[in-house]
Amino acid sequence: MATRAVADNRQRQATPPAPRGAAVPVPDVRSWRHDLHQIPELSFQEHRTAEYVATALTSMGLAVTRGVGGTGVVATLRRGTGGAVGLRADMDGLPLTERGERPYRSRHDGVMHACGHDGHMAMVLGAAHVLAAEGGFAGTVHLVFQPAEEHGLGAKAMIADGLFERFPVDAMYGLHGMPGHPAGRISTRAGALMASEDNFEIRVTGRGGHAARPQMVVDPIVVAAEIVLALQTVVARNVDPTDPAVVSCTEITTDGARNAIPGQVVIRGDTRSFSPAVQALLERRIRQLAGGICAAHDATCEVTYTHEFEPTVNDPAAVATAVAAARLTVGDGHVDPDTAPWTASEDFGAFLRHVPGCFALLGTGEAPAAGGTALHSPDFDFNDDVLAIGMRYYVHLVRAALPAGDGS
């Protein structure tokens, strides 16, 4: 009996909660997701993807604008007068070769949807379908299909192309599938949810020579090794322990040979943090440590430090709206309103530098065979069982943010 009870409890945890509210067109959403999964495209190359979503949105009677920020698409749905919200879905795939024999496998060799962007697009398309058919809100909804999320460039491109001047919103909302979380659980938090990502390159220049005559060289490998070790003290000894941060050296290359001490070593890596102050601290200390260690060894260095992704910082009022919508969708027991921050990065953070909003995570499952395969894996596939939940969440979100009025 005890064993059966445990098994039953595990089954309940693995089964997504049924979305609350009116019936939802799950077959259409699955079909959209499978179609989009077959035509993945890399950043700023999402031409077929953009045309697919634009055609679907046009068929719903929405006003559609193509080419925003390159390949971006914005569809607008108006019902009477009121405020305006944006719902965002990312469109690009990853340069990976898909594994598995599913019938809707990627048709583009070396490119696949390994981060769930096909699911994100399908959920927003589904929400557009329901909102266009049922209304239930007063105001304007802008459905933003963003290119180039994976490289952190698409949101900035759309903003530079006048996104918020052409399609003004009071708040922006997004949702990301999250393997490892129980299927159907919606998680978010006020404040920093996801980290910034900055990249660095340290080019150490010494004086190369024969490996048998080290006294005649300035060995940049030794210098680089000291720099790599010293960088591990930045988080441990310079960052406040209550401020999360990561410094990772991910690549070291030289211009040497087996029997030659190189003249140059390049160290590459990235950092993650949740605030501009910590970002600035990490950059400053990396430059200081690299420069000081090189000077001590009579070597020189050049440090390049670039900001790739903004931190994703949620607005408390927008989070309250999102949490209310999540509870209407799946019930209080399946909502985490104060989830732990995640040190991965999301291009959505760039939008939140300009308008308030909330980004949330939708659990897709814990077991690899049931939606729990890691993001960016060639084995990844979005869990279709949570599509209806994400779609209905967006519907509730719009109706919570734009309460129904005379024009709805």
Give tens-digit pLDDT for 14-44. Answer: 578 877 655 555 668 999 999 999 999 999 9
Q: Which residues constitute the domain of residue 274?
A: 196-309
- Note the pLDDT tens digit of each residue in 66-118: 999 999 999 999 999 999 999 999 999 999 999 998 999 999 999 999 999 99
pLDDT for 26 equals 64
Q: Is 270 a catalytic residue?
A: no
C-alpha 301/C-alpha 310 separation (Å) is: 27
The predicted model scores a pTM of: 0.90
Does residue 92 have an active-site annotation?
yes
How many domains does the chain fold into? Answer: 2
Shared domain check, 232 and 180? no
Judgement on whether residues 147 and 63 belong to the same structural domain of the protein: yes
- Is there a domain that residue 406 lies in? no
376 assigned ligand-binding residue: yes
| Residue 27: per-residue pLDDT | 62
CATH number at residue 52: 3.40.630.10
What does the pLDDT read at residue 155?
A: 98
Q: What is the mean pLDDT of the segment spanning 331-350?
A: 96
Q: Which of 90, 98, 118, 149 is catalytic?
A: 149
Q: Is 176 marked as binding a ligand? A: yes
> Does 123 map to a domain?
yes
3-class secondary structure, 389: helix
- Judgement on whether residues 86 and 212 belong to the same structural domain of the protein: no
**Complete DSSP assignment for 172-236:** EEEEEEEETSPTT-EE--SEEEE-EEEEEEEEEE-B-EETT-GGGSB-HHHHHHHHHHHHHHHHH
Query: Residue 47 annotated as binding?
Result: no
Question: What are 263's two structure tokens?
Answer: 């003249």
Token look-up 């990502």 returns: 197
Looking at residues 382-403, what average pLDDT do you find?
A: 97
Sequential DSSP letters for 143-163: EEEES-TTTT-HHHHHHHTTH
Strand partners, 267: 202, 252
CA 33 to chain centre: 18
Q: What are phi and psi of 106, to 5 degrees?
A: -55, 135
For residue 219, name the pLDDT band (cuts at 50, 70, 90).
very high
Encoded tokens for 304 = 């390049």
Report whether 108 belongs to an annotated binding site.
no
Same domain, 303 and 383: no
Kindly tell me the sign of the dihedral angle through the C-alpha atoms of 123, 124, 128, 131. Answer: positive
Measuring CA to CA, how many Å separate 85 from each of 58, 136, 167, 395? 19, 14, 9, 12
DSSP-derived 3-state class of residue 12: helix
Q: Provide the CA 179 distance to its chain's centre, in angstroms.
A: 13
Selecting among 41, 92, 118, 385, the annotated active-site residue is 92
Q: Is 150 annotated as a binding residue?
A: yes
248 in the same domain as 109: no
Q: Per-residue DSSP letters for 326-379? A: HHHHH-GGGEETTPPPBSS--THHHHHTTS-EEEEEEEEESSGGGTTSPTT-TT
Is residue 34 included in any domain, yes or no?
yes
Dist. CA 247–CA 270, nearest whole Å = 6
Q: Are residues 209 and 81 part of one domain? A: no
Residue 408 domain flag: no
Mean pLDDT of the chain: 93
